[in-house]
Structure 1
């Protein structure tokens, strides 16, 4: 088969069905060399929210436990609440949840919080330049067990 026999279609807003078709096939491939890999349906997507009586929502963490790891997606603390250890507490609570679900490693990406995560035991394992332009995107990890 040559590439002239293949058509390519750019889908600007793929449907859930189209995404599932791709991810289901990827999972079958990944499972072929990683026996026992749990399906995406067993992912533990979670969020920990912080509120106080005067301001309401003041921060949170959004993450996913899957394939024996914790992926931290988003961490935010209101500026008025920073420097009080709340971000540390959020990460520690997420890590505790991950350990309860047999995660052995945590990982994340950050542009401006590298020092914060290093204080929590995370280390840089990769750097991507210009993401966004003029910055460094740090890929970080930490062994949990």
Structure 2
């Protein structure tokens, strides 16, 4: 299991290949890459802040929870911080299991957690100024299903 909170960009394909390279006993791998979304065509960048150490521990605890709930062979979470331009990869989740149902469920669980509870603070910067991103009801609803 690996958790990385990093400023540098990552190559999702290379990360997926590295993740699967050493797997044994897995019949399914699920990967998801989140992209900085520009809904209104006005986003210049997103700035992401976090507390070093605390954030990694919190995400690692959720990966451990996913491993308790589903039979995972391995899991990977990468999340970036700092200034990210629109359309840049912001995060990646990969899960591996003997069967696809566990891999999909664990990946969705981790993605919902990252969206709603992981200790990151996001600020959108655009032509009309900057604003902190507020929690969304639909993200909270997605998290409640777990």
Structure 2 length normalisation: TM-score? 0.28
Bigger relative contact order, structure 1 or 2, given CA contacts below 8 A and separation 6+? 2
Larger Cα-atom Rg: 1
Query: What is the TM-score when the length of structure 1 is the normalising length?
Result: 0.28
